Amino acid sequence: MNSDPKLEAAALQPSDIARRVALEIPDGAVVNLGIGIPTQVANYVETGRGIMFMAENGILGIGPRPAPSEEDRDLINASREPVTAIPGASVFGHADSFAMIRGGHVDIAVLGALQVSARGDLANWTVPGAGKGGIGGAMDIAAGSWEVFAIMTHLMKDGGLKLLDECTYPLTGTKVVSKLFTDIAFIEFTEEGPLLREVAMGLDARDIQRVSSPRLRVADTLGTLKRETKT
């Protein structure tokens, strides 16, 4: 992640982040899953909770990733990864997909992020000077969903900050992120500013503050982000 051994040792794996996000989704929600780590969230939701996962390419009712050799090449998510469909799932075109998004029928969008600002601005579609990247449907998804859960590593590979007072990359949406999940922290955005809710095991609030530009308020009871226990 960076050159800080303490942070590297504590950092969660993508599956750990996806598992934590899944716990934050309320029963019965309609949830759009973006590209990358967000697609893993569907793997960690228990059956019976009534959650309907959606991919912008036109699927409502995504289930866990299929077992090896059981993939259906015609059933993929927005990352072109094979998925399963739960009973009652539906498949439709892009026009219907974005009509649902723009119509306010998506409760939560889980999106990858490049930067997030102190007030919950989201930048996730391009790096200035990289010469690539298109905003695609990200702007519609960020604006049309009732909440946005953002996922990112807390730091750049070179140690640069990604949780900033103001984003320096082109924005996808302003004041859209309600919750941010990184490899070392869980932060909620409130009217009083970003609230640090949980930190990776082995870290404390001071560790997170020194790698974050905004001043972080700390929850009265600071929780711990845990890694999956291998057996």
Tokens of 230: 């291998």
Partners of residue 163 on adjacent β-strands: 116
**Active-site option among 56, 81, 166, 198:** 56
Q: Is 192 a catalytic residue?
A: no
Say if CB 108 and CB 31 are below 8 A apart.
Answer: yes
Q: For strands 147-151 and 177-181, give the pairing.
A: parallel
- Strand 122-123 to strand 115-117: parallel, antiparallel, or no bridges (unpaired)? antiparallel
Q: Which of 66, 141, 70, 130 is nearest to 102 (CA)?
A: 141
Contact in structure between 143 and 186 (CB atoms under 8 Å): no
Residues marked as catalytic: 56
